[in-house]
Structure 1
Amino acid sequence: MLIRTEAPADILAVDALLKTVFDTDAEADLVMKLRENGHRSLSLVACNDDGEVVGYLLFSPVTVDGNDDNWQGLAPMAVRPDYQRQGVGLALLEEAKSILAELGYPVVVVLGHSDYYPKSGFVRASKHGLQCAWPVPDEAFMVLELVPGTLACRQGKVAYSPEFSA
């Protein structure tokens, strides 16, 4: 399994993957809009031994009470069904955590499955005084601190890039 930064040649494969994994085209459309508007901070692909894209994740900027502190939101993340439950998603997350920290992104938030993301270190955001801008279940909105001490400096409402509200 090779994990690398998404390249322009991956766009169609990523689009097909997202349309396969999710029930609607919303995630695929979101990724296209984030790319087009320059709101993609980092995106990684996981490729099998044949070079096929079998996993993907994307990070984009978020703000807390309107403040831009280089925090990132993870969305979407997808693994091809025949590669799920094999550690592909967790491997993508581990690689991303390392890269994001090196790039100076101190915190990541995610709105997702509360039984999955804690495996990679995410905790309920509400424990750190953070709320999602949308009405979501408390256990589904999580945060991961990449630079120790960062979460002690900021509390409030987390807002994603405008493309998420479209």
Structure 2
Amino acid sequence: MKKYLLPAIKLTLLSLVLLSGFYVLILLGIARMVPGKGHGEKITGNGRTYYANIGQAFTEDRYFWSRPSAVDYNAAGSGGSNKGPNNPDLLKTVQARIDTFLVHNPGVDKSRIPVDLVTASGSGLDPDISIAAAMVQVKRISAVRDIPESRLEELVKQSVKKPLLGLFGPASVNVLRLNLALDRLQK
């Protein structure tokens, strides 16, 4: 027994040092090299400071709407709804979001509403929406702000974040950055 116990204890201690010490220090070093130094990316606009990597609640008709949040945009505890695609409560919630969207965006066909405008992300804090989700809102914002649709479409195109290295992930639009650019455009 002693033959197996001592190596097991040594391996456990070595793993503890490597995974609790060195691994954490390596990740901390990498985090210090990226923008924001591992503290999140802060943006100042409209006299406030925001975190660009955390979803914000935008529900006014004059702004591009964010992806819904299962945690009410509370960054203290992220999480999805944990409801399956056939769950009646989830289906009811999604239908309510569709109905609300259609009330605020008359003339948009239900089939054109991108899924990311009516479902929450896994974290509930996704700061980005798809390009289609931004484009489907252009008509509403154009009418409210009296800005030509072509100008808003150009603003969306300028706000597109390309996939990492052109390969990883979809192209998307950060809603906070887009709405701050929209406010600057109108000033």
Is the structural similarity TM-score above 0.5? Answer: no
Q: Which has the higher strand share?
A: 1
Question: What TM-score results when the alignment is normalised by the length of structure 2?
Answer: 0.25
Report which of the two structures shows the higher radius of gyration computed on alpha carbons: 2
Question: What TM-score results when the alignment is normalised by the length of structure 1?
Answer: 0.27
